[in-house]
Amino acid sequence: MSKLDGKTIALLGARKTEELSKIVHNLGGVPLVRPAQGTVFLDDSHLEEDVTRLMAGEYDWIILTTGVGTELLYKTAMKLEAGDRFKAALQSMNIAARGYKTVNMLKKLGLKPLVRDDDGSTAGLVRNLEGHLSGDEKVALQLHGDPAPLLVDWLDEQSVEHKEILPYEHIPPEEGTMQQLVEEILEGTIDSVVFTSAPQPRNLMEFVREQGVEDKIIDQFKSKVIALAVGKVTAQVIIDEGIERVIYPEDQRMGSAMVELVKYYQGIASR
């Protein structure tokens, strides 16, 4: 018996789809490419103004959620010939960071966060921010264009004044593709859905909520459909969106994720 035994695997990423399809095919599965990522584009129209305000000392805290966004803020300061001023401004603020890439970028700038997540997730960052903000502070919040409702809601609950800095914007995925994916999940023709980044489960669940079929989709993921995530951070977003049964590899590699899926099916088969 082949490893994936003819199972239909929906791939939600928009990149490396040929490569992933080949892996699924070689393992005996049937790949379906259903991009749920949308596209990301740089919107730096307000960045110079945002960075200037940061350097003017308007904020007590900065919350940085991505390494690439942090780097872009620094590059914007460099464009203004103010790289050192930017670093000095951040040095004088309290910094909170999510994710190891953000922490690594800060390290390159000679900066260290006061608060960071404990597991790479927004929920982990919120956990560790508890008790640090009293409501009198002004916070700059760098997002990746992908909203962080958990973080924003938490700041609102603390009555903290915050300004969102969005270097990137997301365009949602094709509606036709999403409709097709949802119908296939509901009809039971898909055995596993592969999520390779956080926007994909958010986009899928936002779409099914608008369609009024959220409960039906969640039931399918509980019973027939296996959610496979590329790593822990994406898995956490899938869980936050209401899909509780998720498998993922420890090392955040697509090949390892497929191995986990094979192991899962072989485990089911042997029980």
Q: What percent of the chain has pLDDT over 70?
A: 97
Q: Is the pLDDT of residue 120 over 80?
A: no
H-helix or E-strand spanning residue 194: strand 192-195
- pLDDT bin (cut points 50, 70, 90) of residue 145 is low
* Structure letter (DSSP) for residue 172: P
The confidence score (pLDDT) of residue 270 equals 46
Mean pLDDT for 237-244 is 92
The confidence score (pLDDT) of residue 135 equals 82
| 186-227 pLDDT tens trace | 999 999 999 998 889 999 999 999 999 999 999 999 999 999
In the chain, what is the greatest distance between 2 CA atoms, to the nearest angstrom?
A: 65
Tokens of 234: 């994406």
Q: Is the pLDDT of residue 132 over 80?
A: yes
The confidence score (pLDDT) of residue 164 equals 92
* Weakest mean pLDDT among 40-49, 240-249, 251-260: 40-49
Choice between 204 and 253, residue whose per-residue pLDDT is larger: 204
- For the entire predicted model, the pTM comes to 0.68
Tokens of 51: 């960075």
| Angle, helices 67-79/83-91, rounded to nearest 10 degrees | 130
Mean pLDDT for 12-34 is 91
247 neighbors 226 (Cβ within 8 angstroms): yes
> Which stretches of the chain are DSSP H helices?
17-26, 47-55, 67-79, 83-91, 100-108, 122-129, 149-157, 175-187, 199-211, 214-223, 232-240, 254-270
Rounded CA gap, 201 and 240, in Å?
9
| Angle, helices 47-55/83-91, rounded to nearest 10 degrees | 60
In whole numbers, what is the pLDDT of the chain averaged over residues? 91
Q: Is the pLDDT of residue 271 over 50?
A: no
H-helix or E-strand spanning residue 229: strand 226-229
Mean pLDDT for 72-100 is 95
156 neighbors 132 (Cβ within 8 angstroms): no
In order of start, what are the domains of the chain with their CATH numbers? 8-38+173-270 (3.40.50.10090), 41-170 (3.40.50.10090)
